[in-house]
Structure 1
Amino acid sequence: MEQAEMQRNAQAWLDYAEFGERFVEYAVTERRIEAAVAMIGGRGIKIGPFNIGPAGLAGFVAEGKVGQPRVLRRGPHVTFEVTVPVSLSLQVLLGGRKLRFAAVVEIDMTLHARTADPVLVVIDIPPLTGRDVSFVLCAQAIDAAWEWILDPIAGLVQREVATRINAMLVDPQARRARVFDIEAIVGGERSTRRDATRFDWIGYRDFGRRFFERVVTENRVREVVERLAGRPIEVGPLRAGPRRSATVTVLGAVRVPQVSGRPWDPELGLHQFDLILPVGLDITVEVLKANRYRADVEVPLVLTARAAAPLSVVIDVSPPVAADIRVSFRAEGMRAATLGALAGIRRQVAGQVAAVIRRELADPAMRTIDVAARIDSVA
């Protein structure tokens, strides 16, 4: 078995659904989760003034600051438990008397990395309620006359903090920080989808397929295979013709490849492209004297966009077969046009061109996109 075929068989392929899940799990890190909600940290918060208690006898106001969000743990299905501390200074006025004390508030949030149409990763945060907010009073001793008012204050603070954090999270700038347009990131373009407020959620299977559909495009595949353009083709000298009396030398180069997408085949479940590698050759056949020809060669290939472990896109290609290669000759001069030896070398030229193309395609590095490295390069 040839080296290229052995490498293809040894490659650990993934289906598009598994690629989609791995992509999200790799891309959505604790650092990115914290960064996605970091802008609420350091913001001021004010509650009140409110009147509380029977007949609104007590006045209440609180001011403080939101701390930096911190990931506590990572859960299944790309979920994250995040806590946000809030420090508050409270002031209560009752019957002309003032009481000042501090409170520590913690907000528990569950962030879920979800995939949305067309190729978006969105950090989804359900709206907070008072039940998501804990309230701890920092006071050494409180007069019994004040104790009755603490429970109403705690409930009010929990509800009001949840309301204010919700408002911060739906702020357009904060919301944009939680939307990642993968198609725009890969293309180095400005996204027009990060301001969306509603999303069409899709599963990892659809996300993986749409990644290949919208990111591994015909133009991007063309950019990869156009690296072959200009590669030299050198064959010979070879002995050919009747009694091997002719000496054949072939010099040429690969021209600009032609790529076209194939219709989606649901049974195959992979995106494919047709590739034509045109090759221009100068052929010299020595029989008593040099006879020169121009040859136009077309090498048809099928490219398959595959997902590979751990997280790569590989443009897979089956080795060319000599029988599929089309060769047309043009003679330069009358003697070359009437030379019978040419018919015998057509098959040899096709076989040698196939061998050269196989060698050029043997290294998968030029056909591989390290998606994990691309993700790591994005801040």
Structure 2
Amino acid sequence: MNPPWGDGPTPYIDYAQFGRRFLEYAASEQRISGAFAQLTGAAFDFGPIGVGPGKLAKVAAQVQLGEPKLHRYVDDIISFELIIPLDVDLLLDLAVDRHSFQVHGNVHLHLAVRTAEPLRVVIDIAEPRPSDVRINVATATKRGQLLRILASVDHEIRRFVARYIATEIRKPHIAAVRDIDVAARLDAAWKL
């Protein structure tokens, strides 16, 4: 029922509908994409690190992250899958010879929108694991393929990339957009 003041009937909704609409609006694909756009185009190196039996082989790589793709799922909980493409130029150094590999793949991050005390919206991100890094490794030789398996190259790439992404999402500039204090923002907006 509308109150007797105002210029006519206002289409009121209940608090639960308001809260749900607010969260769906606040956690739009554009906002979430924007928050993680800082990872786009990032490049980093790792290694050389010892791999394989006795850690005699050394692996070094240059990693380039591409533009993330985002999939939104609206159910009881609003969630997202953020897919970050990656390209890796990898060098396996055996001291007697070297083998290069081209690696293409994706990092899959899982995000959920949560509400928290006293009045906060929190973007919860599952800690990336090596299994969240999906890669395809190519080399030109059969010897390179064998060495790749013996030196656990795939595992080292997955492990390192997952650790790098986990470190990045903990940085202050990304942490700030993952925890929104709605009450503080309302208080700031309504200051006279």
> What interval of TM-score do these two structures reach, taking the shorter chain for normalisation?
0.7 to 0.9
**How well do the aligned residues superpose, as a CA RMSD in angstroms?**
2.5
Which one of 68, 77, 82 corresponds to residue 257 of structure 1? 68
SS in 1 for 2:10: coil
Indicate the SS of the match to 1:126.
coil
Quote the residue 1:310 is aligned against: 118
Q: What is the letter of the counterpart of residue 309 of structure 1?
A: E
In the other structure, the counterpart of 2:81 is 274
Structure 1 match to 2:27? 216
Q: 2:135 aligns with which of 327, 345, 354?
A: 327
2:159 to 326, 329, 351: 351
Confirm or deny: 8 A CA contact 1:242 1:341 kept in the other structure. no
Q: What whole-Å deviation, never above 9, does each CA across 1:96-123 have from its counterpart, x for those lacking one?
A: xxxxxxxxxxxxxxxxxxxxxxxxxxxx
Whether the 8 Å contact between 2:40 and 2:66 is mirrored in structure 1 is: yes
SS in 1 for 2:166: helix
Match of 2:143 among 321, 330, 338: 338
- How far residue 272 of structure 1 moved from its aligned partner, in angstroms, is 0.7
Once the two structures are TM-superposed, the CA of residue 361 in structure 1 deviates from its matched residue by 1.6
- 2:13 aligned with 1:199: no
Q: 1:208 to 1:350 in 2, by over 3 A?
A: same
Say whether 1:294 aligns with 2:102. Answer: yes
Asked whether the equivalents of residues 109 and 132 of structure 2 are also in contact (C-alpha less than 8 Å), the reply is no
- 1:232 shift after superposition: 3.2
Q: Secondary structure at the match of 2:21?
A: helix
SS in 1 for 2:159: helix
Could you say what secondary structure the match of 1:338 adopts? helix
Aligned to 2:169: 361
Distance apart, 1:373 and its partner CA: 4.6
Question: Does residue 8 of structure 2 align to residue 126 of structure 1?
Answer: no
Between the aligned partners of 1:356 and 1:200, the Cα distance in structure 2 is: 48
Shift of 1:378: 6.3
State, as a whole percentage, how many aligned pairs show the same letter: 28
Larger Rg, first or second structure (1 or 2): 1
CA distance in 1, matches of 2:16, 2:44: 42
Map 1:96-245 onto structure 2 (within 5 A): 126-127=4-5, 170=7, 197-245=8-56
Distance 1:366 1:293, change over 3 A: farther
Deviations, residues 226-278 of structure 1 (Å, cap 9, x unaligned): 122133333221112344331101221322111011141xxxx3211111122
Q: Distance in 2 between matches of 1:231 and 1:377?
A: 35
Mapped to 1, the partners of 2:113 and 2:131 lie a distance apart of: 25
Stretches of structure 1 that go unaligned for 5 or more consecutive residues are 1-123, 128-168, 171-196
